[in-house]
Chain A
Amino acid sequence: MIRYMIKNNFKLMGRSWLNAFMLILCPLIVSAVLISAFSALMAKYEKAENFSCGYSFEEGSPWKNGEAMLKETGLSAGIRFLPFSGDEPEETIRENDLGGFVTFGSSGYTVYRTEDQKVEGMTLEYFLSEFVDQAMDAATGNASSEETVKLSVEHPEFVPAVDSRDYYGMVYVLYFAWCAFAGAAALLSNEKKYGIGKRFQVSNLSDTQIYLGKLLPISLVVIVDIGIAILLSTASFGVHWGNPLIVVGLLLVMIPAAVALSLMVHSITDNVIGTIVVIFALVWIWGFFGGSFETYMFADHPKIIKLLSPIYHCNRSMVELASMGRSDYYLSAILYCGGLAVGCSLLAIAIMKMKRRGRA
């Protein structure tokens, strides 16, 4: 019965230029600006393959015996180890433009790294962890028959190789998809202004049908617009979106979640402007902690706050899927958005029923 409602609401949304502006042009414009602005910065983060590191041994350190192997294995992984006294590691890093510093003690080692060369520091940590593991295996007789230790640290898992074009190209299309309500604002505003909602209430549609008659067409229009934005971002900036099926899978859950959230807030406020303010504030906060403004890889926000943001899960899964081909965050993004879509929908319908009773 709501087929015609969905069809006509789809037409209404599609005939609004605001949708095309908000969901196609805006993400492309913002992406273009940020891709250009941060290309040099992100390129710097990427070039972590060849760098120098300082090292020192404390008196009597057993690691001294593996010094030659450390240097040789380091070189094969693109890390040149340079010996220093080890008195003041931080100053040594700064003065010699090192990617990091490691001091080997009697039973362990300490890694020093700087914020300026975060990727190099993380790469060094990763390298040492692998090196020590394999050295321990060798000491306990679990090593392979090869005489030398070979490590590959080209792209440690925690630092996906992604440039500003891919990162901002994806992140801003996703960000604007979360602002989907802007496109539906005209439709909902008209419904209220002209008392069109009364016609729906007089008809024999249930509150669930009335709700779905909005959720589905709005989601559909946003999916189409975002799909166009994705195609244009690929054509114009060469953004790599990875596996198209996986991208579509995430969008099919994420966009209804964004729309359901907006409709739920709208059912509470019963006011389009109020809803826009609440949604934009919420999406901004989620975007702030989710990597929309500062790349999530290098942001210093507490992990728990990042995890609370659905945008973080979506950004991270999309970026990692495109750059590494896999992501531990894909499932959590799907589950988070799916839960949000269902939860917000149930709440919105419950509020609609309560309001009808309240009015009533």
Chain B
Amino acid sequence: METILKLTDLTKKYGNKVVVDNLNIEIQKGEIFGLLGPNGAGKSTTMNMICNIVRPTLGSVEFFGKDFRKNRKELSKKLGYIPQDLAIHGRLKAWENVELFTSLYGIKGKELKERIDESLEYVGLLDRKNEYAKNFSGGMKRRLNIACAIGHHPDLLIFDEPTVGIDPQSRNFILERIKKSNQNGATVIYTSHYMEEVEAICTRIAIMDNGKIIATGTSEELKKLVVEDPSTITLEEVFLTLTGKKLRDI
């Protein structure tokens, strides 16, 4: 198995507060890796460090065996980041949004036009390509958000809660597309608060709390950490058992 992403002793401190504490994760090619955690667990900071938006206080992010920060120009082309926010411009048409964000990876001209149509087709928005994004429904905006991150054919896709606030049909469509991307060869990191989603698509899951990974494994393996018979418990119950029921107001 080829290691796509390797986090070694990854730590982030803001002042004296340790947000991510000595994280060590290896993600293999072809995996759909689920990262779960309550609010404030450090998931987003970890994602941001992987994407080089935030620099680690300690530790390293290796991508395809190379230090990401030192080889950013080369490696960022292999990364597709779908942020939790709808990072699209409402005053741009659907195709213009995809053009803007796909072109950031050096794709231009005829190839860019093909990639725009391909990305929009992939998320089911090709027939709406000439409409302004501000007129789209929540689900359509989420799909456009994804289209903007896949036009450069990344090897690693990072989804940060991509199904927040959308209807079941749109959610189902997005999950199907994530599985299809994975079948086409992309490795996926996926965060969500919807346990059933994670359970449905992820091949391996890590539960994070207080900046640390507290459990890793398949859904079955995680359930067996809590009970002997995994069929008697849901992933959400495992999650609550491991992270506690105390409210996390951050």
Residues of A within 8 A of B (CB): 1, 3-5, 8, 11-12, 15-16, 190, 194-196, 198-205, 356-357, 359-360
* Residues of A contacting B: mostly: helix
What residues of chain B lie closer than 8 Å to A201, measured between beta carbons? 51-53
Could you tell me the distance in whole angstroms from the C-beta of A42 to the nearest C-beta in chain B?
42
> Closest residue to A357 on the B side, CB-wise?
B55
- Annotate B189-227 by CB proximity to A: 1 below 8 A, 0 otherwise: 000000000000000000000000000000000000000
Known: A8-B92, A196-B89, A200-B104; 17 extra A-B contacts, CB below 8 A, are A1-B108, A4-B99, A4-B100, A16-B91, A194-B89, A195-B83, A199-B83, A199-B104, A199-B148, A199-B149, A201-B51, A202-B52, A202-B53, A204-B73, A204-B76, A359-B53, A360-B54
Contact A195 B105 (CB under 8 A): no
Contact B105 A204 (CB under 8 A): yes
> Closest residue to B158 on the A side, CB-wise?
A202
> Closest residue to B96 on the A side, CB-wise?
A8
Bound Cα distance from A356 to B84, whole angstroms: 20
Instruction: Select A5's contact among B48, B79, B103, beta carbons within 8 Å.
Output: B103
Known pairs A1-B103, A4-B99, A360-B54; A202 contacts B89 (CB<8 A): no
What residues of chain B lie closer than 8 Å to A360, measured between beta carbons? 52-56
Could you list some 26 contacts between A and B, CB below 8 A? A1-B106, A1-B108, A3-B108, A4-B100, A4-B112, A8-B99, A11-B96, A15-B91, A195-B83, A195-B84, A195-B87, A196-B88, A198-B81, A199-B148, A200-B104, A201-B51, A202-B51, A202-B76, A204-B76, A204-B77, A204-B104, A204-B106, A205-B104, A359-B54, A360-B52, A360-B55
Contact A203 B53 (CB under 8 A): no
Bound Cα distance from A3 to B100, whole angstroms: 9
B101 sits at the interface (CB 8 A): yes
Could you tell me the distance in whole angstroms from the C-beta of A16 to the nearest C-beta in chain B?
7
> Closest residue to B69 on the A side, CB-wise?
A360
Bound Cα distance from A4 to B108, whole angstroms: 8
Instruction: With a 10 A CB-CB cut-off, give which of A3, A196, A205 has the most chain B CB atoms.
Output: A196
Could you tell me the distance in whole angstroms from the C-beta of B71 to the nearest C-beta in chain A?
10
Contact B72 A204 (CB under 8 A): yes
Contact A199 B106 (CB under 8 A): no
> Closest residue to B148 on the A side, CB-wise?
A199
What residues of chain A lie closer than 8 Å to B105, measured between beta carbons? 203-204
Contact A11 B81 (CB under 8 A): no
Could you tell me the distance in whole angstroms from the C-beta of A133 to the nearest C-beta in chain B?
65
Bound Cα distance from A199 to B148, whole angstroms: 9
B85 sits at the interface (CB 8 A): yes
Bound Cα distance from A337 to B13, whole angstroms: 41
Bound Cα distance from A3 to B108, whole angstroms: 9
Bound Cα distance from A196 to B112, whole angstroms: 20
Could you tell me the distance in whole angstroms from the C-beta of A252 to the nearest C-beta in chain B?
26
What residues of chain A lie closer than 8 Å to B79, measured between beta carbons? 202
Instruction: With a 10 A CB-CB cut-off, give which of B52, B73, B74, B103 has the most chain A CB atoms.
Output: B103
Bound Cα distance from A1 to B85, whole angstroms: 25
Could you tell me the distance in whole angstroms from the C-beta of B64 to the nearest C-beta in chain A?
14
Instruction: Select A190's contact among B72, B76, B89, beta carbons within 8 Å.
Output: B89
What residues of chain B lie closer than 8 Å to A196, measured between beta carbons? 87-89
What residues of chain B lie closer than 8 Å to A11, measured between beta carbons? 91-92, 96
B230 sits at the interface (CB 8 A): no
Contact B56 A190 (CB under 8 A): no
Instruction: With a 10 A CB-CB cut-off, give which of B53, B83, B92, B96 has the most chain A CB atoms.
Output: B53
Bound Cα distance from A198 to B54, whole angstroms: 10
> Closest residue to B101 on the A side, CB-wise?
A199
Instruction: With a 10 A CB-CB cut-off, give which of A3, A194, A357 has the most chain B CB atoms.
Output: A194
What residues of chain A lie closer than 8 Å to B100, measured between beta carbons? 4-5, 8
